[in-house]
Structure 1
């Protein structure tokens, strides 16, 4: 679990010792939770909290990652069985806030896992209507006795960020993601996919909600900076939002800029999904979309994702702040540059290749922090793409003036390993063959 200072836990231990300790704690936790999972004992709040921790912390390698969808199903079942969205009478303000915070974290994880594994969400928006938003982290983590201030907080979902902390930021982002996934499901629906007026209204609504999120984050950050300047003699730098690039981050709030960077990357990734597609093969094959204005909009936000990724690597080089959620968004934000490099080959310019190199460095940082196969797979695909583009460019430069190199057909150029990770009907996103589903043939070509 994260420490108060933000330093890695058990930093004094080597990687092998940390792995052994983590596995021992993981086994002991599962043994204690087995009666609950087998319906041999009544579930408690602590059981739901422990399952949440198992889903969030102990699934960072392939040995545990393949069980993640099943453990998430157990977690959502416990959350609904305990009715954490309904606060009973007679419990303390602190117990109410504990239930409230775990419910909202379950909502965040539900939407993110649905996106990661191409599933329909479990928790419905209607279940959130009458539960207040969590309090600010600075209040919850204060040593003083907790006083419930729920009347000052809105009930239900919203797209406006009320505090620059985990729940304040990611509850709103999860609400946007939920709407975005529903929009893509309707695009694939046999009836509603033909209702262009309906889809246009939904898209405009999503754009409005995302703009609301963006505006509220900017305003909260500026307000906090002004308050900081008033109380500090030293000058505090201003966060730069233009072009999605955040730099000169505040030293006074070491944990806040990291969350804002990750959130800003996720927001721009959602824009690429709004104007583009969930599935990398669809991106590769849809020539009409690649020639449309929507592609230009999606590529613009993919570029912003790249710039934010550079800042994330600078501020959090080991990706320890938010790697579980960032991993899925990061891959989706890279698909456009991967496809462009694959299609253009020797015509791919330095800008496209440098973006691919940025994503490759990020994947290498992931591999150093966690041990999950899909990240290594995409790293190999990116490395192969960059190498072939550079090789094709070198061959072209070595040819006599006036001669042209004939490129191989583009249709053969999307690596077959990508076919294990699909976001279309019948596929499981990042839950591939090694995680219990039949994988695509390795030799398959588009």
Structure 2
């Protein structure tokens, strides 16, 4: 039951970290990662699925709220990965097939379903968070050789995920074409993009599209920063090759986001869990638009508009303040860029009013959402407060 708890408005979002703390306490108390003897195959599988879902939620909530994860990778060493969803959801008797299972964590996708895709992604996210914590460490953060090795390892693990998804999906596609796998939708890969020529079974394409977006967002986190203010202020990084790599994957995030909006306009498939990734993948284009102003081209502005539509879809589905706040900032950014371009066209000789300061988007509301030490990401003290109370305080 606690795995299904989600924040649907500010009042619930305010207490979500506390509910998660209770949830992870129960998971540890129940020792779901230890399979006792004498229970049925179905009960074993139920414990496994609960544990791995808790693992996914733990890593995502740590990312969302800038916290250290609760469930350690060492606790996953001796528990098997869940079976395929179609086997678990079938009406027949569940048969335990442990000898064919993978034990512990890996970065390889073994099945194109919820746990098969998102357990490896959660493992990658956990490693990324540890990498960023090390970057902030007062002594270990200065060990460039160590950090370089860790980054190379992360790249290899993400490549393993990428290749395994492609191989497994191509195998599934061939099986569906030969008629040996009924009810599986067909997608093809095209230069890193996903297309869905068959809408008869839309659930698998949606799931893969969300996962594909998450993977590219993680690349932007690997080569970039977690915090939007750090992105804005770090001029050296904005001029580095890492920025170009991060921007390349942010571009792919934009393209996948556009496809997600086309296939899942209400974002019902994964809105409860993965809205943070859409937000983070938009930071680079937001910063570029603010810094370039009248020089921002249509490509940058159109990317901002894509993320604006995404945030508006989130805001209509899940009524939480931070989504509306970032949507307002994106809209304000687009408006200021268009106004600056219009002024430049009207006054090509440069005789125009002075532009607003380039950092005026860093208003107090945005500064509430930070991914640096002492801040809690998308959770802060303003969550859940009523407008009337805020007015009385002012």
* Band the TM-score falls in, shorter-chain normalisation: over 0.9
Give 3-state SS (helix, strand or coil) of 2:164's partner. Answer: helix
Matching residue of 1:107: 55
Give 3-state SS (helix, strand or coil) of 1:410's partner. Answer: coil
Aligned match for 1:295, one of 220, 225, 243: 243
Aligned match for 1:362, one of 310, 334, 339: 310
Query: Does the CA-based 8 Å contact 1:343-1:413 persist in structure 2?
Result: no
Q: CA deviation at 1:338?
A: 0.4
Matching residue of 1:24: none
Query: Does the CA-based 8 Å contact 1:341-1:353 persist in structure 2?
Result: yes
330-339 or 251-260: bigger deviation: 251-260
Matching residue of 2:118: 170
Aligned match for 2:234, one of 278, 286, 293: 286
TM-score (norm. length: structure 1): 0.83
Q: CA deviation at 1:317?
A: 0.5
Give 3-state SS (helix, strand or coil) of 1:246's partner. Answer: strand
Matching residue of 2:44: 96
Aligned match for 1:135, one of 83, 92, 98: 83
Q: CA deviation at 1:412?
A: 3.4
Aligned match for 1:254, one of 202, 215, 224: 202
Q: CA deviation at 1:405?
A: 6.2
Matched ranges for 1:53-64 at <5 A:
53=4, 55-56=5-6, 59-64=7-12
Matching residue of 1:271: 219
Aligned match for 1:220, one of 168, 184, 199: 168
Q: CA deviation at 1:401?
A: 4.2
d(CA) in 2 for partners of 1:250 and 1:87? Answer: 40
Q: 1:249 to 1:419 in 2, by over 3 A?
A: farther
d(CA) in 2 for partners of 1:371 and 1:252? Answer: 31
Query: Does the CA-based 8 Å contact 1:239-1:250 persist in structure 2?
Result: no
Matched ranges for 1:196-345 at <5 A:
196-231=144-179, 238-243=187-192, 245-345=193-293
TM-score (norm. length: structure 2): 0.94
Q: Which one scores higher on RCO, CA 8 angstroms, separation ≥ 6? A: 2
d(CA) in 2 for partners of 1:225 and 1:280? Answer: 39
The unaligned stretches of length 5 or more in structure 1 are 1-49
Q: CA deviation at 1:251?
A: 3.2
Q: CA deviation at 1:246?
A: 1.4
Aligned match for 1:145, one of 56, 72, 93: 93
**Structure 2 residue 3 is matched with structure 1 residue 52:** yes
Matching residue of 2:338: 390
Q: CA deviation at 1:267?
A: 0.3
CA RMSD of aligned residues (A): 2.0
Give 3-state SS (helix, strand or coil) of 2:35's partner. Answer: coil
d(CA) in 2 for partners of 1:402 and 1:415? Answer: 28
Query: Does the CA-based 8 Å contact 2:293-2:336 persist in structure 1?
Result: yes
Query: Does the CA-based 8 Å contact 2:13-2:384 persist in structure 1?
Result: no
Q: CA deviation at 1:400?
A: 4.8
Give 3-state SS (helix, strand or coil) of 2:63's partner. Answer: helix
d(CA) in 2 for partners of 1:197 and 1:249? Answer: 46
CA-to-aligned-CA distance 1:382-429 (integer Å, 9 cap, x gap): 111101110111111111546576433323343332101000000000
d(CA) in 1 for partners of 2:99 and 2:254? Answer: 40
The unaligned stretches of length 5 or more in structure 2 are none
Runs of 4+ with deviation above 4 angstroms: 400-406
Q: 1:328 to 1:249 in 2, by over 3 A?
A: farther
**Structure 2 residue 89 is matched with structure 1 residue 126:** no
Matched ranges for 1:3-22 at <5 A:
none
